[in-house]
Structure 1
């Protein structure tokens, strides 16, 4: 083999190897786009997880609100059905299962009866009784 030809062949081989190595180390447009897509997908996944958690919390809050409204409605219905109580004298509010009774009633017996009825309703955690006996006129 001719020495010049041999030198050209070796130089070509070294040059090809060097260019190939440099080309492997550099990112091309396709790799950069792929990485950008990966980052965007990861961010979207994080945002979806945050949205899922927020929706779950709101659903729990809505469920608690509905439970509280159902408790209040049940207590008011029970008050209406009780001949001893004048249901329109008694205000009922429920927050997180805690029932607050307010207003003025005719007797201590009405206060005690309303306390018993409210406390007996399902899902009631406690009863705050702020009822007062009306002063005689």
Structure 2
């Protein structure tokens, strides 16, 4: 039950933080093309945030069920943080292999999509680690 409540708190908190970071990024980055196109991109990013939250929550719950809970959560955190980095590197390599130079606008757009995911991963990891570590220390003191 404690793991379910931890996962629920992590999902709700990371959903709000992810949406906040996404909206802040959309507000801070100037629109380089037409305004309706930028609004469609923002709407798509807002729709993808809950999917990212659920994927990260499932990965964290699976990691929390392992025997060495803290090590498994740490490895899950590192893996999830490196996924967008690998995708960014693959995008740059793809541009270079096709003879196209990667523009700074492309990198900024990729980072604008990556930052909400990183904050979702960070918030969920902090909540899982903090709540479940407190539970483990309470068991150690009681036992």
Q: TM-score scaled by structure 1?
A: 0.33
Q: Bigger radius of gyration, 1 or 2?
A: 1
